[in-house]
Chains A and B, each alone.
Chain A
Amino acid sequence: MNRTLIGFIRKELTQTLRDPRMRVLLFVVPIIQLTLFGVAISNEVKNIRLAAFFNPNDTVLRDIYERSIAGGWFIPAKSRAQDPYMMIEGDEADAVLFPPPGGFTRDLGRGTAELQLLVNATNVLQAQAVESYLQNIIQRTLQDDLKLTWPTPPIQITTRVLFNPALETSVFMVPGTMCTIMIISTLSLANIAIVREKEMGTFEMLISAPVSRSEVIYGKTIPYVILGMSNFPFVLAVAIFVFHVPMRGSLLVLLIAAFAFVCTAVALGTLISTYCRNQQQAALAGFLFLFPMIMFSGLMFPLENMPTAIRWISYLDPLAHFMGLLRNIMLKGGEAAYVFTHIAFLAIIGLFSITASFRRFHTTLQ
Chain B
Amino acid sequence: MSSFVWRRAVAIARKEVFHILRDPTTLGAALALPLFMVIMFGIAIEFNVKNVALAVNDQDKTQSSRRLLDTFGSSRYFLLHSVASPLDAITDVSAERARAALIIPPRFEKDLFAGRGAGAQILVDGSDSSTVGPVLGYVGSIQNIASRRIGDFNPPDLYALRTRFLFNPELNSRWFVIPGLTVVVMAILSILLTALTVAREWENGSMELLLSTPVQPMEIIVGKLAPYGVLGIIAVTFVYVIARTVFGVPFQGNLAVFGLGCLLFLVTYLAQGLLISVVTRKQTIAMQLAMMSGMLPSNLLSGFIFPIESMPVFFQYFTMIFPARWFMRIARGTFLKGASLLELSGPFLALSISCALMIFMAKRRFKRDLEP
Contacts and interface: CB of A to CB of B under 8 A. Distances in A.
Contacts, number: 340
Nearest to A166: B126
B304 to A, nearest CB: 9
Given A122-B337, A158-B122, A280 B200 contact: yes
Interface in B24-60: 25-26, 29-30, 32-33, 36-37, 40-41, 43-53
B365 to A, nearest CB: 15
Interface in A159-175: 159-165, 167, 169, 171-173
Interface in A9-39: 19, 21-22, 25, 29, 33, 37, 39
Nearest to A161: B126
B218 interface: no
Interface string B108-137: 000010010111111111111111110011
Contacts of B50: 304-305
B310 A46 contact: yes
Nearest to B169: A121
Contact of A115 (B150, B162, B196, B343): B162
Interface size range on A against B: 35 or more
Contacts of B150: 154-155
A59 interface: no
A29 B119 CA distance: 51
Contact of A108 (B36, B43, B158): B158
Given A279-B283, A304-B50, A328-B94, A47 B130 contact: no
Interface stretch (B4-12, B238-246, B287-295, B350-358): B287-295
14 contacts: A43-B133, A121-B169, A153-B153, A154-B150, A156-B118, A156-B119, A159-B123, A172-B127, A184-B291, A185-B288, A283-B287, A284-B29, A305-B49, A335-B91
Given A89-B343, A284-B33, 20 more contacts: A29-B288, A40-B318, A44-B310, A89-B166, A112-B158, A122-B336, A123-B332, A125-B47, A134-B161, A142-B158, A157-B143, A159-B121, A164-B132, A167-B126, A192-B283, A287-B192, A292-B40, A327-B128, A335-B95, A335-B96
Interface of B: 23, 25-26, 29-30, 32-33, 36-37, 40-41, 43-53, 68, 90-91, 93-96, 99, 112, 115, 117-133, 136-137, 139, 142-144, 146-147, 150-151, 153, 155, 157-169, 171-173, 175-176, 188, 192-193, 196-197, 200, 280, 282-285, 287-292, 295-296, 299-301, 305-307, 309-312, 315, 318-319, 332-333, 336-337, 339, 343
